[in-house]
Amino acid sequence: MPLSDPIDDFRLAYDRHGEPGAPPVLLLHGWPGDRTDMTAVAERLGAGHDVVVPDLRGFGGSDRHDRDPAEHYGAAAQARSVAGLLTELGLTGVVIGGYDVGSRVAQQVARDRPDLLRALVVTPPAPGVGRRILGEGPMREFWYQSFHQLDLARELVDGEIGATRSYLRHFWTHWSGPDFTPDDDRLDHLTAAYSSPGAFVASIGWYRAGGGVVARSLAETAPDPADRITVPTTFLWPGHDPLFPRDWSDRVGEFFADVRVDGVDGAGHFVPVEAPQVFADAIAAAAR
């Protein structure tokens, strides 16, 4: 497992699959996951692509440091590390595929370094939610983002194997589609990744940095048309994600100059894990 050169003293652990010199792809995981969320997608892309799959800052085998989350774990910081990895590997014209946190980081890279990218293939979250986030249904779902701001999250979960497994199992079962259930091996892997002292707190640095959907949705405004993201973007919008109903896709054109929304019926929040062929096919199409 190689490690990237440090950016802001953070190194990213990553896997590389496929064929160097083939069309480049970068796959970004979400919370609560790690780079292994993308294993089935990387396998399906096969020898026809050069596929790089990192752990984001604070996750998996990448560096985690007890530092100000706003400065070191937010979207801009995560995007710096991703752009640094692409530059280190000499990759341009990259298709980034991402879900959850990985989607948000991909969108930030598209804003900051469009010169590195060919396209995005991402799932929600997407901009344009606005004050709909305050509805009774969404507030029942997004409680965890407020919980992650509390020291109580560290006290109850961090370093506690049983609590970590129960907490992760809740999200992987509640957020997934009706035909998907995480198996014991998957939960064992994630529990091991998240239960060492400091690992859980590092993983929620994203939320403590203000990366959660609630705060961002209330603060966002549509940009001037000239300032929209120009990288061609495909949103794969699942049909059974309790966090992001499909009608929340109605305003993405206000934020992206070239965007399409494709439904993924039957899938929940974890599209790369639940529907890896759909995800891989969309990336392969964008890379052509």
Residues labelled as active-site residues? 100, 207, 269
Token pair in block for residue 110: 């598209």
Residue 286 · residue 119 · CB < 8 Å: yes
Give the closest residue to 29 by CA, choosing from 7, 57, 50, 3.
57
Token pair in block for residue 188: 């064992």
Beta strand pairing status for 117-122 and 94-98? parallel
Amino acid at 92: T
By CB neighbour count within 10 A (0-12 exposed, 13-18 middle, 19+ buried), where does 224 fall? exposed
Residue 117 · residue 82 · CB < 8 Å: no
Report the SS3 class of residue 89: coil
Residue 160 · residue 3 · CB < 8 Å: no
Beta strand pairing status for 50-54 and 24-28? parallel
Helix (H), strand (E) at residue 73: none
Give the closest residue to 55 by CA, choosing from 167, 173, 190, 176.
190
DSSP 8-state class, residue 14? E
Residue 122 · residue 233 · CB < 8 Å: yes
